[in-house]
């Protein structure tokens, strides 16, 4: 029989197991973040506003947060194009180091911004939100400047 009796730190075994699971998830996310920062990804360029305008990085907005769309390889980008019904379109992209996206492009967005990697790949995609430890503090939505 299993009893939910507080342990040495005042936690029940179920709470301790939940903490262990949360810690394991945080470690896994940190590993994935480190790998992303060291990896070059494909970042499609969005549509330009006219012949003389510069094309920016392709983004999508969700609940007040902008996400730069990045893809691990050409096949992931092709799956995204197919999902949008734009497979025949010519996709122009840049190859950018993940760290450069998080450290330079995200703060330059001027709005809360993160990165969505392989967003057409369901549970295999990854979101890097604009929070401390992922993006620079000045671009993090959970950073208090103390002003």
Q: Which two tokens stand for residue 40?
A: 């070059």
Query: Residue 142: which pLDDT band, with cuts at 50, 70 and 90?
Result: confident
Q: Residue 98 above 90 pLDDT?
A: yes
Proportion of the chain above pLDDT 70, given as a percent: 80
Q: Residue 53 above 50 pLDDT?
A: no
Pairing of strands 113-117, 65-70: parallel
Query: Is this prediction's pTM over 0.85?
Result: no
Nearest to 105 by CA among 147, 21, 24, 46: 46
- The secondary structure of the chain in percent helix, strand, coil, rounded to multiples of 5, reads 35, 20, 40
Computed over every residue of the chain, the mean pLDDT equals 86
More confident residue, 46 or 1: 46
* CB-CB neighbours of 111 under 10 Å: 12
Calpha distance 83→53 (Å, rounded)? 27
Residue 92 DSSP class = P
Calpha distance 128→7 (Å, rounded)? 35
- Model pLDDT, residue 143: 73
């Amino acid at each position: 029989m299993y009893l939910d009796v507080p342990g040495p730190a005042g936690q029940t075994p179920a709470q301790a197991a939940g903490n262990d699971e949360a810690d394991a998830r945080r470690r896994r996310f940190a590993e994935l973040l480190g790998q992303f920062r060291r990896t070059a990804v494909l970042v499609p360029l969005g549509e330009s506003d006219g012949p003389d305008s510069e094309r920016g990085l392709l983004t999508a907005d969700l609940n007040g947060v902008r996400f730069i769309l990045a893809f691990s390889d050409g096949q992931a980008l092709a799956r995204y194009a197919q999902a949008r019904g734009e497979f025949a379109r010519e996709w122009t992209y840049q190859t950018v180091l993940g760290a450069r996206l998080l450290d330079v492009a995200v703060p330059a967005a001027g709005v809360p911004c993160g990165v969505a990697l392989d967003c057409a790949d369901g549970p295999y995609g990854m979101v890097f939100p604009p929070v401390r430890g992922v993006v620079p503090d000045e671009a993090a939505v959970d950073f208090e400047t103390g002003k």
